[in-house]
């Protein structure tokens, strides 16, 4: 019998218990991989404060490596997505690469640059998957860096006007990130996408036989209406007995959280009764608090074990992010039976079959338009229930489990590009 296929996945983010959606996605895929010991031996590389290996099963492990040059080393480079490694090469990673048969990239940072060089030199199969809108995130975070650099001095407005409005430096960085991403896509034997915009972009310069779709999974037990406990939620976070608008994610510009806050303020101005619950933390949490005052509760990060009950026990999920390719939080909210109000400019819109029926899709960045979309859900409990029930039913019918998604949309592609002698 042939040994299982040795696959390495590279995620140039720090692994930690409360990491974001990209890391959590691969934790779920890793758990699914433990069910296929005869077919795959999986190592997922993350950044870590100390180098270590964490075994999930005999055939699955996390390997944590220290960054060569962490964004944490310079205050000006820090951003809400968490630390990454901006070095052009990772020497410690290079030492491990000969162990593997197939290589899977999920970004374009230090790990990815090292792996691409290795695969080109050794003629090894390389696969990439697109998990976020990297050019957009680059524009958002470079803009934040420029604003921090300008400070609060008398000349700061002039500095910001010059660099952002005239020279448009943030847009230059975004285009540079897109060119870099395109280079990695050209170097890959196969690319996996989950957003129509990414598919169309790749079709503009790659043959269609190299581009495939992949899905994320859902834990149908953890995210389910059966966990609805409104009284528990109010007692746990000291919330008033009014409809709860829920936001889950990084509290920063990458998730457009201030648009949610502005829409909530518009609703308050119009006299609607509600409370906002923000689960997560980030650079704009103080701004959200300053905007909404006693109408908002910010929990910070919460254990994954609580999330299912938080979703199911809230009343409306509001998520204006435009940087997602397949946001886990939208699927989780819908699976829990929660009506969602989401951006039409984001990858999450594909989860809503009919806006107004099983969710609300908003094609606007105007807080008043968002407020108008949310308002009917605040005043009509039966409408909320119908929309949440429809969302749950569609999710149950169309969203695979993590194991189903892993076998059909991930493992099958690893095996397809593996050297023939490595696949049984």
Instruction: Give 321-367 as a DSSP string.
Output: --SBSS-HHHHHHHHTT--EEEETTSGGGGG-SSTTTS-EEE----H
Give, as one character, the DSSP assignment of residue 35: T
Q: Please state the rounded mean pLDDT for residues 11-29.
A: 89
Average pLDDT, the chain: 92
pLDDT at 76 over 60: no
d(CA 86, CA 108): 10
Residue 32: C-alpha distances to residues 234, 385, 402, 410 (Å)? 34, 32, 6, 11
Residue 309: C-alpha distances to residues 20, 232, 241 (Å)? 19, 9, 17
pLDDT at position 75: 54
Q: Please state the rounded mean pLDDT for residues 160-172.
A: 78
At 132, phi and psi to the nearest 5? -155, 165
Q: How many helices (H) and strands (E) does the chain have?
A: 16, 14
What CATH number is given for 5-217+402-422 in this structure?
3.40.50.2000
Residue 167: C-alpha distances to residues 157, 159, 171 (Å)? 14, 11, 9
d(CA 139, CA 174): 5
Nearest to 306 by CA among 243, 229, 251, 374: 229
**Strand, coil or helix: what is 143?**
helix
> What percent of the chain has a predicted confidence (pLDDT) above 90?
79
pLDDT at 70 over 90: no
Express each pLDDT in 318-340 by its tens digit: 999 998 888 899 999 999 999 99
pLDDT at 81 over 90: no
Nearest to 316 by CA among 288, 337, 298, 297: 337
Nearest to 101 by CA among 9, 33, 2, 5: 5
* Band of pLDDT at residue 77, cut at 50, 70 and 90: low
Express each pLDDT in 114-145 by its tens digit: 999 999 999 999 999 999 898 988 888 888 77
Burial class (CB in 10 A: 0-12, 13-18, 19+), 207: exposed
CATH superfamily of 225-398: Glycogen Phosphorylase B; (3.40.50.2000)
pLDDT at 266 over 90: yes
pLDDT at position 262: 98
The answer to which of 54-63, 65-74, 96-105, 279-288 has the lowest mean pLDDT is 65-74
Burial class (CB in 10 A: 0-12, 13-18, 19+), 299: middle
pLDDT at position 79: 54
The answer to which of 19-28, 255-264, 292-301 has the lowest mean pLDDT is 19-28
pLDDT at position 194: 94
Identify the bridge partners of residue 129 per DSSP, sorted by sequence position. Answer: 192
Q: Please state the rounded mean pLDDT for residues 251-267.
A: 95
The answer to which of 77-86, 127-136, 167-176, 307-316 has the lowest mean pLDDT is 77-86
pLDDT at 360 over 60: yes
Identify the bridge partners of residue 166 per DSSP, sorted by sequence position. Answer: none
d(CA 165, CA 223): 44
pLDDT at position 78: 55
Are 198 and 324 a contacting pair, CB within 8 Å?
no
* Band of pLDDT at residue 408, cut at 50, 70 and 90: very high
Express each pLDDT in 196-232 by its tens digit: 999 999 999 999 999 999 999 999 999 999 999 999 9
Residue 158: C-alpha distances to residues 94, 172, 350 (Å)? 45, 19, 41
Q: What is the pTM assigned to this prediction?
A: 0.91
pLDDT at 249 over 90: yes
d(CA 166, CA 164): 6
Identify the bridge partners of residue 343 per DSSP, sorted by sequence position. Answer: 362
Tokens describing residue 399:
């969203």
pLDDT at 80 over 60: no
Burial class (CB in 10 A: 0-12, 13-18, 19+), 7: buried
* Band of pLDDT at residue 59, cut at 50, 70 and 90: very high
For CATH 3.40.50.2000, the residue range(s) in the chain are: 5-217+402-422, 225-398
Identify the bridge partners of residue 341 per DSSP, sorted by sequence position. Answer: 318, 360
d(CA 267, CA 361): 18
d(CA 256, CA 195): 19
pLDDT at position 11: 97
d(CA 398, CA 306): 24
- Return left, alpha or beta for 44; rule: phi > 0 is left, psi -120 to 50 is alpha, else beta: beta
pLDDT at position 407: 98
d(CA 210, CA 198): 13
Nearest to 339 by CA among 290, 365, 373, 300: 373
């Amino acid at each position: 019998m042939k040994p299982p296929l040795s696959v390495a996945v590279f995620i140039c983010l720090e692994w930690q218990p409360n990491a974001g959606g990209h890391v959590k996605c691969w934790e779920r895929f890793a758990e699914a991989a433990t069910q296929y010991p005869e077919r795959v031996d999986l190592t997922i590389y993350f950044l870590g404060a100390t180098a270590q290996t964490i075994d999930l099963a005999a055939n699955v492990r996390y390997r944590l490596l220290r960054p060569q040059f962490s964004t944490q080393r310079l205050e000006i480079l820090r951003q809400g997505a968490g630390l990454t490694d901006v070095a052009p090469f990772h020497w410690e990673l290079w030492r491990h690469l000969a162990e593997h048969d197939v290589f899977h990239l999920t970004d374009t940072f230090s790990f990815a640059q090292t792996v691409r060089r290795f695969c080109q030199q050794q003629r090894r199969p390389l696969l990439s998957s697109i998990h976020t809108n990297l050019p957009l995130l680059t524009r958002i975070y470079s803009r934040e860096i420029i604003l921090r650099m300008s400070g609060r001095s008398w000349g700061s407005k002039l500095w910001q006007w010059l660099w952002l409005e005239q020279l448009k430096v943030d847009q230059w960085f975004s285009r540079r990130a897109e060119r870099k991403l395109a280079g990695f896509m050209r170097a890959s034997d196969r690319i996996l996408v989950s957003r129509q915009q990414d598919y169309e972009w790749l079709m503009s310069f790659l043959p269609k036989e190299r581009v495939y779709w992949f899905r994320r999974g859902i834990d149908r037990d953890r995210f389910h209406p059966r966990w609805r406990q409104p009284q528990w939620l109010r007692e746990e976070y000291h919330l008033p007995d009014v409809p709860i608008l829920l936001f889950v994610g990084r509290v920063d510009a990458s998730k457009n959280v201030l648009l949610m806050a502005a829409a909530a303020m518009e609703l308050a101005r119009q006299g609607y009764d509600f409370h906002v619950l923000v689960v997560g933390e980030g650079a704009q949490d103080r701004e959200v608090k300053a905007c909404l005052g006693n109408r908002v509760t910010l929990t910070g990060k919460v254990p994954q074990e609580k999330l299912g009950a938080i979703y199911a026990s809230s009343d409306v999920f509001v998520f204006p992010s435009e940087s997602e390719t397949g946001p886990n939080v939208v699927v989780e909210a819908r699976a829990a039976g929660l009506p969602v109000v989401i951006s039409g400019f984001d990858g999450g819109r594909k989860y809503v079959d009919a806006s107004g029926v099983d969710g609300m899709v908003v094609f606007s960045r105007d807080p008043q338009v968002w407020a108008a979309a949310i308002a009917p859900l605040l005043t009509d409990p039966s409408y909320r229930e119908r929309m949440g029930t429809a969302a749950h039913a569609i999710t149950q019918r169309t969203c695979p489990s993590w194991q189903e998604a892993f076998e059909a949309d991930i493992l099958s592609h690893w095996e397809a590009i593996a050297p023939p002698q490595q696949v049984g």
